[in-house]
Amino acid sequence: MLTTKIIQQCVVWACKQEVAAPKPGNVNCFSDGHNMQVDDFLNSADEIAPIMAQADISVGEMILQAITATRTVVDSNTNLGIVLLFSPLCVAIRHCHHIEQLPDALNQVLQNLTIDDAEQCYQAIRLAEAGGMGKLEQYDIQTIPTITLRQAMEIAQKRDTIAKQYVNNYDEIFNIGLPNLTAAINCGESVEWATAFAYLSLLSHVPDTLICRKQSMEHAQEVTAQAKNLIYKASKNNILSDFEVDIITWDNELKKKAINPGTTADLSAATLLLFAFQQAFSSNRISVL
């Protein structure tokens, strides 16, 4: 089993690699954006990691504590999606003696989510002041929930890919993000560029739901089409860094239009956490550090 120290290291590493990756439209190593800077994400990572590594804590408690801690160092929403995705994974990994057990352990955690988890999660969402949430007639985050967190996520899954992960046991992360991240690393890419490759792979399969909510489905589909084009260019050898100029140009264009594929960035962060757990089990450390 992974120790508290190793889980904490995995969380920090995944968060910091995600923001360092040249992901078009997000805060990254080439440019800030959306009124946020790289340091905001780095500071947030340091705050949430000890909380994510705690034993004997529920998913809802972990989410609320992590967002509360984040708000002590930043005044913007740097990591709500990351916290929502990381929390079930960090609870589940403590039940695993090897990485192959994680999908089943994760499914068990998600199935056992409670109404209390939902209430604490709703509090965290309100505290994070997340943009683009919209308002629902029933089970809105401003209300006191009467259903479990998984049931709430099931209702939200069509409008939020993060919520969908709670229902499909992180299918996109396990079956799109992680294989493409690993393939790019195995082809010689740095972790940062491999993360960008995984990010574009996710984006090319699933239109970003933050863009859908804040702009429109049409905008999201346009971004997905561009991601597909870049993945096609890099598909010969899974090497995306050869197209750095294209990436930087598109990154600037998206930020000028205030288009942020933020949901896909969060899925990429969770992909990195899975990879870190995998590495930690195989060598008792994160060998790519």
**Domain count across the chain:** 1
Closest CA to 27 of 43, 51, 11, 46: 43
Q: What is the pLDDT of residue 129?
A: 83
28-70 per-position pLDDT tens digit: 777 765 567 889 999 999 999 999 999 999 999 999 999 999 9
Domain encompassing residue 202: 4-283
The answer as to whether 132 is a domain residue is yes
The domain that holds 156 is classified in CATH as 1.10.4200.10
Which ranges in the chain belong to alpha helices (H)?
A: 4-20, 38-52, 59-70, 80-93, 102-111, 115-128, 149-156, 161-168, 171-172, 178-186, 191-205, 209-214, 217-234, 244-256, 262-283
Quick check: is 33 in a domain? yes
Q: For residue 116, with 0-12 CB atoms within 10 Å meaning exposed, 13-18 middle and 19 or more buried, which class applies?
A: middle
Residue 204: pLDDT above 70? Answer: yes
pTM for the model stands at: 0.94
Q: What is the pLDDT of residue 55?
A: 96
Q: What is the pLDDT of residues 92-143, one digit of tens each?
A: 999 999 999 999 999 999 999 999 999 999 999 999 986 544 444 455 677 8
Q: What is the pLDDT of residue 56?
A: 94
Whether 288 is covered by a domain: the verdict is no
Are the beta carbons of 234 and 246 closer than 8 angstroms?
no
Question: pLDDT at position 236, please?
Answer: 85
Domain assignment present for 258: yes
In a domain, 289, yes or no: no
Q: What is the mean pLDDT of residues 10-31?
A: 91
Assess if residue 246 is contained within a domain.
Answer: yes
Residue 63 covered by a domain: yes
pLDDT at 198: 98
Mean pLDDT score, 14-32: 89
> Percent of the chain, pLDDT > 90?
84
Indicate whether 64 belongs to any domain. yes
pLDDT band at 149 (very low <50, low <70, confident <90, very high): very high
